[in-house]
Amino acid sequence: MNTSISEHWGSGDVYGRIIDAMKASSISPETVTIEQLSSVDHLHARGFPATVELADALPIKAGDHLVDIGCGVGGPARYIAKRFGCKVSGIDITGPFIDAANRLTALLGMQDAVHLEVGDAQALPYGDYQFDGGYSQHVTMNIADRDRFFSEAFRVLKPGAFFALTEHGLGPTGSPHYPCPWSDDGSGAFLMIPEETLRHLGQAGFTDFQLVDTGEKYLAGYNRAMELARRGELPSFGVQLLLGEGAPAKIANAARNIAEGRTHPIQVICRKP
C-alpha cells in the first residue's frame, strides 16, 4: 500500500474531529441523520449534490449489491444504500477514513447495508462477478496503475453491471497548481486526459461510454465555497474538516486549475458487457 497517499488524505482521529465539529454545530451524534452528515462526508468536488446527480443517472435497483472504490468516510455509500434500499461494500486506502466511516455507519444503524474496509483499489479484496454495479468518485487522480484499477473493477462486477467514474482529468494546459485536494506537491498525482481514461476503461473491457464534462459545475461549486469563506459564512461542519489546514489553498488551486484548463473534470458511466 502507498502510505504517503493515505497519509495525505487522513491521519489521526478523523472520527473524533467529525464528532467534535458536529457537537460544536449543535448536532447530536445520537440523533444525527444522513442529511446532516452530508455536508462533511461526501469528499469530492461539489460534495453531496454531485453524489445525488450521479445516483440519479445510475440504473440502481432495490436489493442490488454495489461496490464503492475509494469510499472515503462513506457518505456516498450510506446515501445510496438508503435511497435505493441496496447494499454497498467499499474499500479505501486511508485507515482513519475507514475507522470514521464505520463508526458513522454504526451511529446511523446502517451496518447491515454498508460494509467498508481498508484496501487498495488496485487489488480489490473481493471475488469475481460479485457486484451489480460499481462507482468510484474522485479517486483515480491518485492511481498510478489505471489498467490494474480498471481491470480490478471489471473483474468484481457481474456481466451487465454499470461502472461510474468521476475524476479530475488532465486538461489541455497541463501542469496543475499544487497544493490541491489530492496532492500537496504533485507527488502521488497521476492525472490523465479524458481520452486516455476512456482508452484504459475500454482496454479493461468496459463499453457503452457516457462522458459528461463536469468542469463548469465544479468550478461554480469551488467559487461558491471560496465566496462563503471570504464572507466568513462557510459552515463549520463542512468538508474542509477533512481537507485539513491547507483547505483554502487546495480549494483555490482546484478552481484555478479548472479555469486555466490544467484539469478537466469528467464523469463517465459505462457497462461491463
Summarize as ranges the residues that interact with ligand SAM (CB under 6 A).
5-6, 9, 42-44, 70-72, 75-76, 91-94, 97, 120-122, 137-139, 142-143
Pick the closer one to ligand SAM by CB: 70 or 171. 70
> Using CB atoms, what's the residue nearest to ligand SAM?
72
Nearer to ligand SAM, 22 or 73 (CB): 73
Query: What's the min distance (Å) between Cβ of 142 and ligand SAM?
Result: 4
φ/ψ (deg, to 5) at 59: -85, 60
CB of 232 to ligand SAM, least distance (A): 26
Contacts of 39 (CB under 8 A, 6+ apart): 47, 48, 235, 237, 238, 239
Strand segments (E) across the chain:
65-69, 87-92, 114-118, 131-137, 157-170, 207-213, 263-271
Q: How far is the CB of 131 from ligand SAM (least distance, A)?
A: 16
The letter for the amino acid at 119 is G
Instruction: Decide whether 47 or 171 has the Cβ nearer to ligand SAM.
Output: 47
- Counting Cβ atoms within 10 Å, is residue 52 exposed (0-12), middle (13-18) or buried (19+)? middle
- What nine digits make up the cell of 220? 461554480
168: closest CA among 261, 48, 238? 261
Residue 11 or 273: the one with the smaller Cβ distance to ligand SAM is 11
Complex with ligand SAM: residue 44 or 262, whichever CB lies closer = 44
Q: Give the Cα separation of 135 and 84 in Å (integer).
A: 15
What's the min distance (Å) between Cβ of 214 and ligand SAM? 13
What's the closest the beta carbon of residue 231 comes to ligand SAM, in angstroms? 25
